Amino acid sequence: MRLKTRLIHHPGSVCEHTGAVSPPIYQVSTFKQEGVDRNKGFEYSRGENPTRKVLEEYIADLEGGLDGYAFASGMAAISACFMLLQSGDHIVATEGLYGGTFRVLSRVFQRFNLTYTYVDTNDVKAVERAFQENTRMLFLETPSNPLMVITDIRQASELAHSRHALVAVDNTFMSPYLQRPLELGADLSVHSASKFLGGHSDLIAGLVVTRDKKVSSRIKQVQMSVGGILGPQDSWLVVRGMKTLGVRMGQAQESAQAIASWLCSRSEV
C-alpha cells in the first residue's frame, strides 16, 4: 500500500468492536483485571492505553519501525532518547539544533554528567573528529531548526555505528511522509508531533520510533518509569491530524516552491 493510502487507511484506526473508522477515546486510568496476570492486554494507562496504542502503532508503521512511543511533548520524547544514556556518556549533536534540545542538554542532562559536542553534522569528517571514547549517541536534527542544515543520515549512521553509538534523528521538519530515518540506518526517529503530524496547532505531543527490540524495550522502560505519556484525547487528535499529513505536506511543498520561484525571479533577492 502506498504511503498516502496507509496514512488514510491505517487498519489500527478502525475500532474492532464496532467498525467505527475513528478509534474510541479510552479515557481511563485502570483496566479491570480478570485475575492475577489475566487481563485484556491493558493494566494501567501510564504503561499502555488503547487509544495511545493506535497512535504508537500508526507512527511505527509510517516510519518503517518496530515500535512507537507517544509522549506529552516533543521535548519529553527527545529527553526519553537522552535517558537511554548514563552518567559519563558523551553525545555528538547537530549544531544549531532546536533551542529546546540545546536547553534540556545544558540545563538538565549536563547536571547528570552527560557531556555533548555540537558539530556541523553536514560535514562527516567534522562528525568523526567530534567522536570521543565515551560517545554513545549521535543526535541529528535534519533539516535543523531554524537554519535548515542537512545531514546525510546514512553516512552519519554508518560512522556512529562503527563507534558503537546510537543514532537518534529529530524528524519533526520532514515527517515520515518525506524522510524515514530508520530506513537510512538511524536507531531512533523522534518527533515533535505538535508540528506537521498533529497539523492543526491544537496540541503538544512527541513521538519516538525504534527499529531494534533492545532499544525499544529501553524506551518503553523510560516511558513507563518516568511517565511523560500522551493522554488519550491528545493521542486521538494526533491520529486524526495524521490522516491528512500527505495532503498537507504536498500543499506545503507546492506553496514553498511557488514562493521560492517568485523570490528567484526578483532582482532584489
Residues in touch with ligand PLP (CB under 6 A): 73-75, 98, 100, 141, 145, 170, 172-173, 192, 194, 204, 206
CA distance 139 to 84: 12
Q: In 9-85, where does DSSP find H-type helix? A: 50-63, 74-82
- Residues 40, 80, 62, CA angle at the centre, nearest 5°? 65
Q: How far is the CB of 183 from ligand PLP (least distance, A)?
A: 20
The CB-nearest residue to ligand PLP is: 74
Q: How many helices (H) and strands (E) does the chain have?
A: 10, 7
In the complex, least distance from residue 7 CB atom to ligand PLP, rounded to whole angstroms? 20
Q: Toward ligand PLP, which CB reaches closer, 135 or 194? A: 194
* 166, three cell numbers: 546510537
Query: In angstroms, what is the minimal distance from the CB of 5 to ligand PLP?
Result: 27
Please say if 89 is a catalytic residue: no
CB 215 within 8 A of CB 188: yes
195 is catalytic: yes
Radius of gyration of the chain (CA): 19
**Contact indicator for 197, 175 with CB cutoff of 8 Å:** yes
Nearer to ligand PLP, 40 or 103 (CB): 103
Shortest distance, position 103 Cβ to ligand PLP, whole Å: 10
* Nearer Cβ to ligand PLP (206/232): 206
Say which of 4, 6, 163, 195 is annotated catalytic. Answer: 195
Q: Which of 61, 170, 187, 234 is catalytic?
A: 170
Q: Give the whole-angstrom CA distance, residue 213 versus residue 219.
A: 10
127 alpha-carbon distance from chain centroid? 22
Pick 84 or 149: Cβ nearer ligand PLP: 149
Q: Which of 53, 61, 67, 98 is catalytic?
A: 98
Identify which of residues 6 and 195 has a Cβ nearer to ligand PLP in the complex. Answer: 195
By C-beta, is 73 or 175 nearer to ligand PLP? Answer: 73
**Residues 208 and 69 sit within 8 Å (Cβ to Cβ):** yes
CB of 69 to ligand PLP, least distance (A): 14
Other C-beta atoms within 10 Å of 38: how many?
Answer: 7
120 flagged as catalytic: no
Identify the residue whose cell numbers are 533492545: 214
Read out DSSP for 26-57?
---SB---SBTTBSSS-SBTTT--HHHHHHHH
Catalytic residue, from 46, 163, 220, 243: name it: 46
- Shortest distance, CB of residue 76 to ligand PLP, whole angstroms? 7
> 141 by DSSP, 3-state: which?
strand
What are the catalytic residues? 46, 98, 170, 195
